[in-house]
Structure 1
């Protein structure tokens, strides 16, 4: 089982270790995020053309950003340019980005509780797509599998990450330069811990007997 405290500590240490890369990639993410949020105002043509291009570009670098943190966890030494190299995963990532909120919305419409449960159980779908290049449905199935028995821990983790980023916003948004990479690195840490735990259970079937 993972520790939220350890995930944050690990994220902080790794962010410091790769400070320059983390800083510049995070600034790019924030800059593009601000750019995409600036469209949709006066000129409809600007929104439909430039805005759409900016949104697509934003998704591609978001994929690359997450991939960089996966590689850091795996002991590799990624470079800034790597944030642009994951464009081939775009369509699968787009698919899971559409399906995931629709599933959550469906659960919330039903009785609210299923929506919260599904939000937690499927919350690693996007990182699985980025990591394994799985399709959206396969990634969601895998996310559901690795989160089995860890609902409350993962829910508390996401609440902690949300509070961390709110804290980052309070400091005039500057704190996001710190809180965003820590959140993503902690997310990767928890994801890897869950996948390793699942692999351990498969290797030792007797541990499933309780």
Structure 2
């Protein structure tokens, strides 16, 4: 049985190094993502009437699906950058093939998390931790939503506590980023997404010490 361990300091040190290396591109992609995917949703949420019309509900649903599509492209870009692979702005918009299973996996994931949180809270947290890597498996390994969820679950078997601590750090960093007038999130969200991608790379390759070469300085 493999026993994984995560050195959070080294993990975020490497992620920050990659962020600095590609900072201009990452900032541009992050701003594009927020302007196209996040701001329209926030606007609709803030200015929707208490009883929205059918057209407004359809618009809100369309914006949510579009946000999920761009989020998959964003994950893909961060996954490429940690390996110093070539990326371009178009990569934010070209995840057409893995998107249908990603949408299905996302729905299953969110339903399971919400039900778990509603019942006893801890099961919801457990589910969120163990199944969180499904987007990366869909981008690199499989076109099956169920298979991606299964792989995430089984390959995080001995890493639950470590991933809980990692998740706590991710939440704190992104909250701090959001508090800085929302501007800090341009740093913290790509940073934490790259760190998550690094963990996935180790899980998929079976390397137990996280981070290890070539993902450490």
Task: Give the TM-score taking structure 1 as reference length.
Answer: 0.86
**Contact 2:15–2:82 (CA under 8 A) maintained in structure 1:** no
1:154 alignment partner in structure 2: 163
1:36 alignment partner in structure 2: 41
- Structure possessing the higher relative contact order (Cα contacts under 8 Å, 6 or more residues apart): 2
Q: 1:85 aligns with which of 87, 90, 94?
A: 94
1:186 alignment partner in structure 2: 195
CA distance in 2, matches of 1:171, 1:199: 35
CA distance in 1, matches of 2:29, 2:185: 12
> Per the alignment, do residues 2 and 178 of structure 1 end up closer, same or farther by CA in structure 2, a change over 3 Å counting?
same
**Contact 2:130–2:153 (CA under 8 A) maintained in structure 1:** yes
1:15 alignment partner in structure 2: 19
Q: Counterparts in 2 of 1:1-210, with a 5 A limit? A: 1-31=5-35, 32-39=37-44, 41-42=48-49, 44=53, 46-197=55-206
CA distance in 2, matches of 1:88, 1:38: 29
- Using the TM superposition, give the Cα deviation of residue 45 of structure 1 relative to its aligned residue in structure 2, in angstroms: 5.2
- Using the TM superposition, give the Cα deviation of residue 49 of structure 1 relative to its aligned residue in structure 2, in angstroms: 4.5
> Per the alignment, do residues 104 and 77 of structure 1 end up closer, same or farther by CA in structure 2, a change over 3 Å counting?
same
Say what the alpha-carbon RMSD is for the aligned residues: 2.1
CA distance in 2, matches of 1:34, 1:133: 31
Unpaired runs of 5+ residues, structure 1, are 201-210
CA distance in 1, matches of 2:130, 2:207: 14
Unpaired runs of 5+ residues, structure 2, are 210-217
Task: Give the TM-score taking structure 2 as reference length.
Answer: 0.84
Residue aligned with 1:69, SS = helix
- Using the TM superposition, give the Cα deviation of residue 166 of structure 1 relative to its aligned residue in structure 2, in angstroms: 0.6
Runs of 4+ aligned structure 1 residues displaced above 6 Å come to: none
Q: Deviations over 1:109-162 (max 9, x none)?
A: 443332222221111122222332432211111001110111110000000000
> Per the alignment, do residues 26 and 179 of structure 1 end up closer, same or farther by CA in structure 2, a change over 3 Å counting?
same
Count of residue correspondences: 200
Higher helix residue share = 1
**Contact 1:2–1:194 (CA under 8 A) maintained in structure 2:** no
